[in-house]
Amino acid sequence: MEPLASNRVTLLTLIFLLFLFIQPSLSIYCDEDDCYNLLGVTQSANASEIKKAYYMLSLKRHPDENPDPESKKFFVKIANAYEILKDEATREQYDYAIAHPEEVFYNTAQYYHAYYGHKTDTRAVLVGLFLILSGFQYLNQWTRYNQAIEMVKKTPAYKNKLKAKEFERTGGVTNKNKGNKQMNKYDLPYIFL
Ligand SMILES: *[C@@H]1O[C@H](CO)[C@@H](O)[C@H](O)[C@H]1NC(C)=O
| Residues 47 and 104 placed together within one structural domain of the fold | yes
pLDDT digits (tens, 9 = 90+) for 51-69: 999 999 998 888 888 888 8
| CA-nearest residue, atom 7 of ligand 1 | 49
Give the mean model confidence (pLDDT) for residues 142-151. 85
Q: Are residues 102 and 29 in the same domain?
A: yes
pLDDT at 117: 59
The CATH number for 63's domain is: 1.10.287.110
27 and 105 fall within a common domain:
yes
**Are residues 31 and 78 both part of a single domain?**
yes
With H, G, I as helix, E, B as strand and everything else as coil, classify residue 37: helix
pTM of this structure:
0.51
Is 29 in the same domain as 93? yes
- What CA–CA distance (Å, rounded) separates 97 from 114? 13
Q: Which has more pLDDT, 49 or 8?
A: 49
Query: What's the burial of 153, exposed, middle or buried (CB within 10 Å: 0-12/13-18/19+)?
Result: exposed
Domain housing 146:
122-176
pLDDT at residue 163 tops 80: yes
Same domain assignment for residues 77 and 98: yes
pLDDT digits 0-9 by tens, 115-144:
665 555 666 767 777 788 888 888 888 888
Task: Work out the pLDDT band at 179, boundaries 50, 70, 90.
Answer: very low
For atom 3 of ligand 1, which residue has the closest CA?
49
Residues 109, 132 within the same domain: no
Ligand 1 centroid, distance to 47 Cα (angstroms): 8
- Distance between alpha carbon 176 and the CA centroid of its chain, in Å? 57
| 13 domain-assigned | no
Q: Which residue minimizes the CA distance to atom 9 of ligand 1? A: 48
Whether residue 64 lies inside any domain: the answer is yes
| Cβ < 6 A, ligand 1 pocket | 46, 48-49
Is there a contact between 47 and 86 (Cβ–Cβ < 8 Å)? yes
**Ligand 1 atom closest to Cα of 46?**
1
Distance CA 77, CA 31 (A): 9
Q: Write b or e for each residue in 19-32: b if 16 or more Cβ atoms lie within 10 A of its Cβ, otherwise e.
A: eeeeeebbebbbee
